[in-house]
A and B are shown apart, each in its own frame.
Chain A
Amino acid sequence: MFFIIGQLHLYQIILLLVAIATLAFAYHRLRSKKSTPAAFVLWVIIWIFLLLFAFKPDITVPLAGLFGFGRGIDLLLIVGLLVSLYLGFRLYMRVDDMNQQMNELVREIAIRNEIELDEED
């Protein structure tokens, strides 16, 4: 197999590198006070889970079984899909809110600048 290096599959290596990079970035944000410790801990937990799924798929089977899935990857995909849908919906609501705010802004500008004719006409 071309894509096995030692005992590792290519996707496992990629995931590991992405995990290290993301966590390093999250740590940097934490240190520079751009993010809260809670958010950092959340990221660490998420990545530990993802790495667990990637490196020890067997131990995720009981967890998947708890939700009625046969394989860990199925649980992962469904959870991923639900999270994406939720984020999409939240994003839509945010954009909608901003649209409302922009309407208010444009309305206020319009009302304050009602068009008057120049006197010289």
Chain B
Amino acid sequence: MMDIMSNSKNDIFIVVPAYNEEKTVSHIIEGIAGEGYNVILVNDGSKDNTLNLAIESKRKYPNQIFIVSHVINRGLGAALKTGMVVALNKNADYILTFDADGQHEISDIPKVVKPLQDGEADACIGARPFKDMPLSKNFANSVMNFLTLVFYGRKVKDSQGGLRAFTADAASKIDIVSSGYAVSSEFIKEISDNNLRLAEVEITTIYTPETQSKGTDAIVGLKILFKMILDLFRL
């Protein structure tokens, strides 16, 4: 079932959504491309130098770094969907999502792809160990896991993690409508609704002031809850 080709890195596309990430974007996309993977950078209407820096990176890896740019900021969910559409258009076999703020280790990429390559799962989510999180994030993420269980009926280790992997088939079935951070829970809903096999692997999370400033805190959590409730009315 598995041949040599499906193990190569050039059919793996890493979608990196970036909104005002000039401090980290070059390091991350060049780091990923340097490992031999393809990168799809989705510049989500950044107001800083993110796009220009990404273009500079593309000069170094012209055949591995692909850049698309939202003319206005549309949110994490919209950017991820754009990146996944582009990856599918480029005939990716495996599509990963990778946060641009520097919280993920590039060395974790093979870990989340492996269950898919082994044919054990259709989707894999990198779970951040909660014990490593600052208390406020730990609490917010625990609540989100609980809400994900209540709303979408899936018990997961980390519903809000940004490092995910999908087979092309799974990615084409997943239909994301959330624009913002609610997308993380929506991925789980879609995995559940489409009866996809989900694997979870533990990954490293790097906490820096940059990675602290975005993501799931109490306010974002409340917004996600509000969206989840309203989504129940969406037909």
Give me the interface of A with B, judged by CB distance under 8 Å: 89, 92-93, 96, 99-100, 102-103, 106-107, 109-111, 113-115, 117, 121
Contact = CB atoms under 8 A, between A and B. Distances in A.
Interface in B42-59: 42, 51, 55, 58-59
B58 A115 contact: yes
B24 to A, nearest CB: 19
B204 interface: no
Contacts of A107: 70, 74, 78, 81-82, 85
Determine the main DSSP class of B at the interface with A.
mixed
A93 B230 CA distance: 9
Given A109-B71, A110-B68, A110-B69, A117 B179 contact: no
Interface of B: 42, 51, 55, 58-59, 62, 66-72, 74, 78, 81-82, 85-86, 89, 177, 179, 230, 233-234
B177 A100 contact: yes
A117 B70 contact: no
B70 A114 contact: no
B230 A92 contact: yes
Nearest to B54: A115
A108 to B, nearest CB: 9
A117 B74 contact: no
Q: Which 8 A-B pairs have the closest CB atoms?
A: A115-B67, A110-B68, A103-B78, A107-B82, A106-B70, A114-B68, A103-B74, A110-B70
14 contacts: A93-B233, A96-B230, A103-B78, A103-B179, A106-B71, A107-B74, A110-B68, A110-B70, A110-B71, A110-B82, A111-B86, A114-B86, A115-B68, A117-B59
A111 B78 contact: no
A9 B30 CA distance: 75
Contacts of B233: 89, 93
Nearest to B231: A96
B55 A117 contact: yes
A106 B72 contact: yes
Most buried by B among A93, A110, A113: A110
